[in-house]
Chain A
Amino acid sequence: MGKLKMVFLACLLLPVLALGLEPPTDLILKDAPNDDGSTVIVKWKLSASENEPSFAGYNIERSEFPADSFKMIAWVPKGTEVHEDNSIEVMGQSYYYRIAAVTESGDSALSAIAGPIATTQSWFNTGKLNTLFGTVLFISITILYIFWARRGNLFIRRIAGLDAVEEAVGRATEMGKPILYCNGIGLIDYISTVASLNILAQVTKKIAQYDTPITVPTADPVVHAVAREMVKEGYNSAGRPDLFKEDGVYFITSDQMGYAAALAGIMSRATPATNFFMGYYAAESLVLAESGAATGAIQIAGTDQISQLPFFITACDYTLIGEELYAASAYLSKEPLLVGSLKGQDACKLLIVFFVLFGTIWAVLFHSDFIYKLFSVN
């Protein structure tokens, strides 16, 4: 009987407690800048009932009409003051918003209705203005260096890993064993894969002169098609189209560990004299490099994946670190145009070093994040 009384009293009190629930206030709507017209930014002031233990969060509701037909479009937890509604499909259509403060038991308190708001699309993203400026500056510096490179020889520092390419090809030739060239598991739109294919072209030109067999197992169908053409053209440009073997460049699988297993098998069975690992690699990098090291092959690796670099440095004889992978084509060919672009890159790096130092000093002296903001992209 006592319990029944308590339940009865609780039922009487619940509506009273619900009446005490305060709605969020000062609802502000803003058309998101620099977007395709699909986003409205909704801001509000937190409900005064936020500190109540049963307070759960806010329901965001939207309608095309000023007074009714509101539908819930999102829920956000308590403490949230901003929500980006990026589900607007019709630009120019007016929308109204309201926010409901809700408790865990399902009670709610509605804010005043805000609106109307209609979205518009932007034709230029002003948040990327610094990127545009940086791109134009970078392109200008690179083109300038390319013109300078045409006039005379520009100095490039020695890259041990690339100097070793000649030695690695020579070793394979002397031993009469094949060269294994891996492009990694990257797709053709990965710039490291493109850089790897550029190196493959240079390596093919060298091996075509010595009649050294090359095996290029690939992990992507498009990369396979490009690699095959490059190897074929490499033999053609060296004047030895007869040496090109169709089955030397073949697709294995797009599966990461399947690719690693296949390559480990090729290395242990064919025991290539030289292994090249160039391009994009993930967890399989160490499986490949260690399998190759176990066969005693000379190994040259290069990747822009920072997390895989330690594995390659440990298990390979030479490793192209990050940007050296991109520099390889220019370094091996020594073509003035390519060398010029490499020097342009170095000049830009110097500029970045300057900004890092300047920004650090500025931040320390003036306690300002002005330089940081200058490089932030919205």
Chain B
Amino acid sequence: MKKNIPLAIVFILGIGFIIQFFIPSRPSQSIFNTMVEWDLILYVFASIIAVDSLIRHHVIKISRKTKGWGYSTVYLGAVVFMVLAAVFSGTREDSFYMKVFYYTLAPMQSTMFAILAFYMASASYRAFRAKSLEATLLLISAFIVMIGLIPQGAAIWSGFPKLSEWLMQVPNMAAKRGITFGIGLGATATSLKIILGIERNWMGGH
């Protein structure tokens, strides 16, 4: 029962939604929208379990005094602080909670995003070292693409923007499309394996 009921649900719903994809009528759309709403209900219950796991994880770290337990106290303190801020000040645009969000959390998120630029520089340094023929070709291509995208490139030689465009639209696009075909088929095959019950790892490998 533990094995067959989930498999039956997945099979019926999987086949049902393949059929639904080809039916544009209103009852068909209505069924689809209802299922999407059910998904939200599932999400709410999963969120409760998720938050419980998060708090449990940090409480265990603090109680066992494992390495970096101090960070867990800061984290839990921040969670409690934000919850209290939301409860007492509300979540309106001018509330204290939103001020904390705009002046603390949002800048931290932006900082993390900005760090990406530095990582790009270090990754580019590694990627563009001409260690082999392929790496050298990559280096030359990257140089042409980059110089073709900046105004100085066209000033040096008017052909750089065109060459850069050609590299992006022809060899690069051909490779991208090849990968996209594979991804499309792979995703469809994985879905099919799950619907037909061939792939059962999602049930813990029964």
Which chain A residues numbered 242 to 262 have a C-beta less than 8 Å away from chain B?
246-247, 249-252, 255, 257-258, 260-261
B171 in contact (CB, < 8 A) = no
B38 in contact (CB, < 8 A) = no
Query: Please, how many angstroms separate the alpha-carbon atoms of A198 and B50 in the complex?
Result: 20
Residues of A within 8 A of B90 (CB): none
A128 in contact with B22 (CB, 8 Å): yes
How many residues of A are counted as interface, with CB atoms below 8 angstroms from the partner's CB atoms?
Answer: 86
Q: Within the complex, what minimum Cβ distance (angstroms) separates A272 from chain B?
A: 13
Residues of B within 8 A of A284 (CB): 112, 116
The segment out of B92-100, B150-158, B159-167, B189-197 that lies at the interface is: B189-197
Query: Please, how many angstroms separate the alpha-carbon atoms of A352 and B192 in the complex?
Result: 19
| Contact A128-B21, Cβ < 8 Å, known A191-B191, A311-B123 | yes
Query: Please, how many angstroms separate the alpha-carbon atoms of A206 and B203 in the complex?
Result: 17
A314 in contact with B126 (CB, 8 Å): yes
A201 in contact with B24 (CB, 8 Å): no
Q: Within the complex, what minimum Cβ distance (angstroms) separates B196 from chain A?
A: 8
A314 in contact with B186 (CB, 8 Å): no
| Contact A36-B24, Cβ < 8 Å, known A195-B190, A286-B116, A304-B187 | yes
Residues of A within 8 A of B203 (CB): 233
Q: Within the complex, what minimum Cβ distance (angstroms) separates A169 from chain B?
A: 17
Q: Within the complex, what minimum Cβ distance (angstroms) separates B78 from chain A?
A: 11
A118 in contact (CB, < 8 A) = no
A234 in contact with B205 (CB, 8 Å): yes
Query: Please, how many angstroms separate the alpha-carbon atoms of A128 and B206 in the complex?
Result: 36
B53 in contact with A250 (CB, 8 Å): yes
A341 in contact with B198 (CB, 8 Å): yes
A338 in contact with B198 (CB, 8 Å): yes
How many residues of B are counted as interface, with CB atoms below 8 angstroms from the partner's CB atoms?
Answer: 63
Q: Within the complex, what minimum Cβ distance (angstroms) separates B110 from chain A?
A: 8
Main secondary structure of the interface of A (DSSP, over half): helix
- Which A residue's beta carbon lies closest to that of B71? A265
Residues of B within 8 A of A57 (CB): none
Closest 10 CB pairs of A and B: A233-B204, A326-B186, A323-B182, A251-B50, A323-B186, A221-B50, A221-B46, A257-B112, A201-B201, A250-B57
Query: Please, how many angstroms separate the alpha-carbon atoms of A171 and B24 in the complex?
Result: 53
Residues of B within 8 A of A322 (CB): 179-180, 182-183, 186
A252 in contact with B54 (CB, 8 Å): yes
B185 in contact (CB, < 8 A) = yes
Can you list 29 contacts pairing A with B, beta carbon distance less than 8 Å? A37-B25, A125-B22, A191-B190, A194-B202, A197-B201, A198-B202, A201-B205, A221-B49, A224-B53, A228-B53, A233-B203, A247-B53, A247-B61, A250-B54, A260-B112, A284-B116, A286-B119, A304-B187, A306-B180, A306-B183, A310-B127, A321-B179, A323-B179, A323-B182, A326-B186, A329-B190, A337-B198, A342-B189, A352-B185
B183 in contact with A304 (CB, 8 Å): yes
A122 in contact with B24 (CB, 8 Å): yes
B53 in contact with A251 (CB, 8 Å): yes
Query: Please, how many angstroms separate the alpha-carbon atoms of A304 and B191 in the complex?
Result: 15
A36 in contact with B26 (CB, 8 Å): yes
A290 in contact with B46 (CB, 8 Å): no
Residues of B within 8 A of A269 (CB): 67-68, 71
B65 in contact (CB, < 8 A) = no
Residues of B within 8 A of A135 (CB): 18, 188
Main secondary structure of the interface of B (DSSP, over half): helix
A344 in contact (CB, < 8 A) = yes
Which chain A residues numbered 285 to 318 have a C-beta less than 8 Å away from chain B?
286-287, 289-290, 304, 306, 309-311, 313-315
Residues of B within 8 A of A352 (CB): 181, 185
A124 in contact (CB, < 8 A) = yes
Which chain B residues numbered 46 to 90 have a C-beta less than 8 Å away from chain A?
46-47, 49-51, 53-54, 56-57, 60-61, 67-68, 71
Q: Within the complex, what minimum Cβ distance (angstroms) separates A157 from chain B?
A: 13
B190 in contact with A194 (CB, 8 Å): yes
- Which B residue's beta carbon lies closest to that of A199? B201
A112 in contact (CB, < 8 A) = no
A368 in contact (CB, < 8 A) = no
A230 in contact with B204 (CB, 8 Å): yes
Query: Please, how many angstroms separate the alpha-carbon atoms of A284 and B180 in the complex?
Result: 21
B34 in contact (CB, < 8 A) = no
A34 in contact (CB, < 8 A) = yes
A345 in contact (CB, < 8 A) = yes
Residues of B within 8 A of A191 (CB): 187, 190-191
Residues of B within 8 A of A338 (CB): 193, 198-199
A125 in contact with B23 (CB, 8 Å): yes
Q: Within the complex, what minimum Cβ distance (angstroms) separates B134 from chain A?
A: 12
